[in-house]
Each structure stands twice: as structure tokens, then as C-alpha cells.
């Protein structure tokens, strides 16, 4: 019998949390745990219960859904709603579920009908700027926390309707 089948829900959550905190870039499907002999680990497993409690407090009034964005927007859109969308990058096949140009055009059309506010983040390419032209587009430079060569900056856009 596999060890995970004998763990309680809390023990499985603690194990997942430990892997998430100690795996490079949080990639727990194929975790690569970095070991550094010159610095002590920055993660203390004894803090897991307190960290879970802190997360519980932060998320106590948060609604988390695992649905297509269209269904989430249809369900929760309203004048006082702020939606954040972080879809797969345009033109990149990096994800389990990728979008094609028509999907992005449909997204822009749907976003144009919202009663609430939205923030959409995407890679900064001319096609994205063209598709989402009716909205406010702000270019930003950022450094990803998980990258092979530290310090490299990437260009993205934040698209909003406010």
C-alpha cells in the first residue's frame, strides 16, 4: 500500500505544502528540491501548522473556483466585482490548456460586457495589444521569481476596463 493512502487529509496537506515550499518554482509534479550547503534552509517544517492557520485566515472570505473563466465571470460579475484573469500567454504552447487567437478575441468580447472591473495580465506582443485595444493597456517589466538566469526582465501588459 502506498504511504499516501494511509495519510490523513491533514498529513497529505502538510506534505503537499512542504513540497510546494521546497520545490524549485513550486513545481511539485516533478519536484526538484534545491540543497544549499552554505545557507540553512529558509523553511521550518515546525511552522506548517501556523502557516496553514495564517492561510486559513487570509482565505476565510475568498471564493475559489475551478471552472472555465466564462462561467466564473457569468456567476460572479456585478458592479462591485473585481476579476483578475491570468490566461496562458498568447502564442505560447506552455500549458496543459492553451488558447488560440479566436479564444482571446472571444475573451475580449466577453470582457467588454462586464458590469464589474477586471485586470488581465498577458505577455506583451502586438497581437495582444490589437485584440484588447478597446481597453486600457499598461506595459510593465518584471523579473520572474522562477527563472534559470536571475535578473532577466520580461515585458507583460496589464489590461483593465478602469
- pLDDT tens digit string along 71-82? 999 999 999 999
Q: Tell me the mean pLDDT in the region 106-122.
A: 98
Number of structural domains (the chain) is 2
What local confidence, expressed as pLDDT, does residue 103 receive? 97
Asked if 108 and 44 sit in the same domain, the reply is no
**Integer Cα distance of 47 and 9 in angstroms:** 18
Is residue 74 located within the same domain as residue 54? no
Q: Clarify whether residues 55 and 73 are in a common domain.
A: no
Residue 66 clears pLDDT 80, i.e. is over it: yes
Q: Judge whether 96 lies within some domain.
A: yes
Residue 113 has which C-alpha cell?
Answer: 460586457
Residue 42's pLDDT band, with cuts at 50, 70 and 90, is low
Measured distance CA(15)–CA(4) in Å, rounded: 9
Residue 64, in any domain of the structure: no
The boundaries of the domain holding residue 22 are 3-59
Task: For residues 89 and 11, state if they share a domain.
Answer: no
Q: Please answer whether residues 139 and 104 qualify as being in contact, where contact means their C-beta atoms are separated by less than 8 angstroms.
A: no
Whether 37 and 9 map to the same domain: the answer is: yes
Query: What is the rounded average pLDDT of the residues 111-122?
Result: 98
Query: What confidence tier does 97 reach under pLDDT thresholds 50, 70, 90?
Result: confident
Helices (H), the chain: 3-6, 9-22, 48-59, 69-76, 101-111, 126-131
The secondary structure of residue 45, as a DSSP letter, is G
pLDDT above 80: residue 105: yes
User: Could you tell me if 144 and 98 lie in one domain?
Assistant: yes
Both 96 and 145 in one domain: the answer is yes
> Which of 92, 157, 154 lies closest to 128, judged by CA?
157
C-alpha cell at 36: 544549499
**19 domain residue, yes or no:** yes
* 35 pLDDT higher than 60: no
Amino acid at each position: 500500500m502506498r504511504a499516501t493512502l494511509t495519510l490523513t487529509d491533514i498529513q497529505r496537506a502538510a506534505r503537499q505544502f512542504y513540497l510546494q515550499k521546497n520545490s524549485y518554482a513550486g513545481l511539485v509534479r516533478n519536484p526538484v528540491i534545491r540543497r544549499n550547503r552554505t545557507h540553512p534552509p529558509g523553511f521550518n517544517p515546525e511552522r506548517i501548522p501556523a502557516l496553514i492557520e495564517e492561510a486559513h485566515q487570509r482565505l476565510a472570505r475568498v471564493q475559489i473556483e475551478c471552472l472555465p473563466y466564462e462561467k466564473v465571470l457569468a456567476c460572479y460579475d456585478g458592479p462591485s466585482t473585481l476579476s483578475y484573469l491570468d490566461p496562458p500567454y498568447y502564442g505560447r504552447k506552455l500549458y496543459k490548456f492553451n488558447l488560440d487567437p479566436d479564444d482571446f478575441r472571444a475573451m475580449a468580447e466577453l470582457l467588454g460586457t462586464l458590469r464589474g472591473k477586471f485586470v488581465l495580465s498577458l505577455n506583451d506582443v502586438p497581437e495582444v495589444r490589437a485584440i484588447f485595444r478597446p481597453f486600457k493597456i499598461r506595459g510593465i517589466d518584471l523579473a520572474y521569481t522562477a527563472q534559470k538566469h536571475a535578473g532577466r526582465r520580461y515585458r507583460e501588459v496589464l489590461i483593465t476596463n478602469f
